[in-house]
Amino acid sequence: MQARSIIQDSGSANPELANAVVYALEFAKRMGTSGAVAGVSRTSGYDLTVRMGELETIEHQNGGGLGITVFMGLRKGSSSTSDFDRQAIEDTVRAAASIAKFTAEDSCNGLPPKDRLVNETADLELDLPWQIDRDQALEIALSCEEAALSSDSRIVNSEGASIGTSIQDSAFGNSDGLLVAGRKSRHSIVCSVIGQTESGMQTDYWFSASRDPGALDSPQSIGAMAARRTLRRLDARKIKTCSVPVLFEAPTAGSLLKNFVGAISGGALYRKASFLLDSLGQQIFPEKTRIHEQPHLKRSIGSAVCDDEGVATETCDIVTDGVLQKYLLSSYSARKLGLETTGNAGGTFNLTIDPGDRDFDEMVKLMNKGLLVTHTMGFGINQVTGDYSQGASGFWVENGEIQFPVEEVTIAGNLRDMFRSLVEVGKDVDYRTGVRTGSILLSNMAVAGE
């Protein structure tokens, strides 16, 4: 076995998990495989939920899994287990090797190029435990829900407030000597309440999530926001079918970027199942648009030193001046397309669209007349054609101001046209997930209503 040095991406590596990976790789070699990849993770923590001022559930998590892929020449097989003991590891490696006898040879199979593997430890500060006991967590959840319930007499019911805190230990390695291990924390506070008027009930929620407990919003502000967002939806109505500008509120706008990511991902491209085939170097967005990745931001949900194959992540542009600069590839999809891996096995890392200089209110003013979309629903997105048709709710905007809440309408178009019709990105950026965007204004979509 080659000497291995553990590369840490954050926090302290768990030696038990790293040992499991090393053992799996060693056993795979003993089984006569020509290459192997192994990963182990274990999550521990709890979710505590209160509802209507009372503790409702405490769910303790303590579980994980080990996954291995082995190569027999150009064939591969995979297997996974929830168990880490030596017997289970050996059984799992044997199962993967057995599968590799039946799969076909695929010349694109194999490990990523060695010179692209992550080789430096970086402390991204992703392991920041939340030092609270159960009673404190209960207090936080109760105060969060109370802030929502007490804010307005129309808030009549609740789906509860939850505190979640977890630590994920992981280790990952391959038979080229890679071993990466680390620990990441994730903490969240979420609140969801129900408002009612004579016309019916509406619900909405708000959450704060971070690797850093110190960066969470105050429980009271989360509860108050959940109540505000619920109240503003009350007495929503349909509008007439029309063709108008559409403003996606920041928390919903991220879905447009995810549709873009799906279409430029290697798996969709080599299967010819994307509406953005052969679009490298093409103008996809208006000239002022820049979309980039920031994998090494400290304390961020979307940060990592390497992708799911151990390829070092890089800070880079995906779209510059509206032109597509790179696809998002793993080593496999790169070989399929005759390109090099981009370090995007498993997705993107803090994908960011550069904001403009308008805040949310100014974005509404800029739209002047149209539909502000705060929620989308459904599965009406066709990645092969780009055809887009989703359920929506939000607000009707006229004279640059919000007029009334809207529900039970659809918005439709084609993503290719929608990307080109991007007018402006707001500076009201939502930092809670690995996709960072402000509100996004599109010049025109079909809105179906009455």
Partner 1 sequence: MENYIEIARKTLLDPADVSDRELDQLLGKMIGKSIDYADVYFQYSRSENWSLEEGIVKSGAYSVDKGVGLRAVSGEKTGFAFSDDLSLGALTHAAQSARGIAQGIGSKKSGLLGKGSTQVPVRYSGDNPLQSLDENAKISLLGRVEQEARKQDPRVKEVMVNLAGEHNVIMIVGHDGTICADVRPLIRLNVTVVAEQNGRRERGSFGGGSRQSYEFFQQDERALNYAREAVRQALTNLESVDGPAGTMTVVLGPGWPGILLHEAIGHGLEGDFNRKGTSAFSGRIGEKVASDLCTIVDDGTIENRRGSLSVDDEGTQSQNTVLIENGILKGYMQDLTNARLMGQSPTGNGRRQSFAHLPMPRMTNTYMLSGESEHDEIIESVDNGLYAVQFGGGQVDITSGNFVFSATEAYKIENGKVTQPVKGATLIGNGPDVLTRVSMVGNNLELDSGIGTCGKDGQLVPVGVGQPTLRLDEITVGGVVV
Q: Which of residues 205-234 bind partner 1 (CB under 8 A)?
A: 233
Sequence letter at residue 430: D
* Residue 387 binds to partner 1 (criterion: CB under 8 A): yes
Cβ-based neighbour number of residue 320 at 10 Å: 16
Site for partner 1 in 162-181 (CB under 8 A): none
| Nearer residue to partner 1 within complex by CB, 100 or 306 | 100
- As to burial, measured by CB atoms within 10 angstroms (0-12 exposed, 13-18 middle, 19+ buried), residue 5 is exposed
Nearest by Cα to 119 from 43, 9, 223, 224 = 9
Nearest by Cα to 290 from 204, 236, 353, 243 = 353
Tell me the torsion sign for CA atoms 129, 131, 135, 138.
negative
- The single residue among 11, 35, 39, 64 that binds partner 1, judged by CB under 8 A, is 64
Piece of the chain touching partner 1 by CB under 8 A; list 74-82, 135-143, 147-155, 340-348: 74-82
- Cα distance between residue 69 and residue 170, in whole Å: 16
- The single residue among 2, 5, 12, 57 that binds partner 1, judged by CB under 8 A, is 57
Residue 198 makes CB contacts below 8 A (sequence gap 6+) with: none
- The single residue among 189, 409, 422, 435 that binds partner 1, judged by CB under 8 A, is 409
DSSP-based three-state secondary structure for 208: strand
* Residue 316 binds to partner 1 (criterion: CB under 8 A): no
- The single residue among 81, 220, 255, 433 that binds partner 1, judged by CB under 8 A, is 81
- Cα distance between residue 142 and residue 137, in whole Å: 9
Residue with tokens 């899994």: 65
* Residue 282 binds to partner 1 (criterion: CB under 8 A): no
* Residue 391 binds to partner 1 (criterion: CB under 8 A): yes
Concatenating the DSSP letter of every residue in 258-308 gives HHHHHHTBHHHHHTT--TTTT-TTSB-S-TT--EEE-TT-TT-TT--SB-T
- The single residue among 78, 166, 218, 255 that binds partner 1, judged by CB under 8 A, is 78
Cβ distance 366 to 424 under 8 Å?
yes
- As to burial, measured by CB atoms within 10 angstroms (0-12 exposed, 13-18 middle, 19+ buried), residue 414 is middle
Stretch 181-200: interaction string toward partner 1, x if CB under 8 A: -------------x-----x
**CA angle, 388 then 393 then 398, to 5°:** 100
Piece of the chain touching partner 1 by CB under 8 A; list 88-96, 309-317, 321-329, 342-350: 88-96
- 8-state DSSP, 108: T
* Residue 3 binds to partner 1 (criterion: CB under 8 A): no
Count residues binding partner 1 (CB under 8 A).
78
- The single residue among 3, 32, 102, 198 that binds partner 1, judged by CB under 8 A, is 102
Cβ distance 215 to 299 under 8 Å?
yes
* Residue 449 binds to partner 1 (criterion: CB under 8 A): yes
* Shortest distance (Å) from residue 103 CB to partner 1: 5
Note the maximum CA span of the chain: 72
N-terminal to C-terminal alpha carbon distance within the chain: 69
* Residue 393 binds to partner 1 (criterion: CB under 8 A): yes
DSSP-based three-state secondary structure for 187: strand
* Shortest distance (Å) from residue 348 CB to partner 1: 22
* Residue 91 binds to partner 1 (criterion: CB under 8 A): yes
Nearest by Cα to 166 from 11, 60, 303 = 60
* Shortest distance (Å) from residue 177 CB to partner 1: 24
* Residue 132 binds to partner 1 (criterion: CB under 8 A): no
Site for partner 1 in 242-261 (CB under 8 A): 242-243
| Nearer residue to partner 1 within complex by CB, 194 or 423 | 194
| Nearer residue to partner 1 within complex by CB, 133 or 357 | 133
* Shortest distance (Å) from residue 42 CB to partner 1: 9
Stretch 321-360: interaction string toward partner 1, x if CB under 8 A: ----------------------------------------
CA distances (Å), origin 370, targets 196, 228, 240, 244 = 26, 22, 12, 5
Q: Give the distance from CA 420 to its chain's centroid.
A: 24
- The single residue among 238, 282, 287, 315 that binds partner 1, judged by CB under 8 A, is 238
- The single residue among 14, 92, 210, 252 that binds partner 1, judged by CB under 8 A, is 92
Piece of the chain touching partner 1 by CB under 8 A; list 314-322, 340-348, 353-361, 371-379: 371-379
Piece of the chain touching partner 1 by CB under 8 A; list 258-266, 357-365, 366-374, 383-391: 383-391
- Cα distance between residue 202 and residue 25, in whole Å: 53
- The single residue among 201, 282, 287, 346 that binds partner 1, judged by CB under 8 A, is 201
- The single residue among 3, 115, 214, 272 that binds partner 1, judged by CB under 8 A, is 272
* Residue 308 binds to partner 1 (criterion: CB under 8 A): no
**Tokens representing 190?**
């979420």
* Residue 312 binds to partner 1 (criterion: CB under 8 A): no
* Shortest distance (Å) from residue 389 CB to partner 1: 4
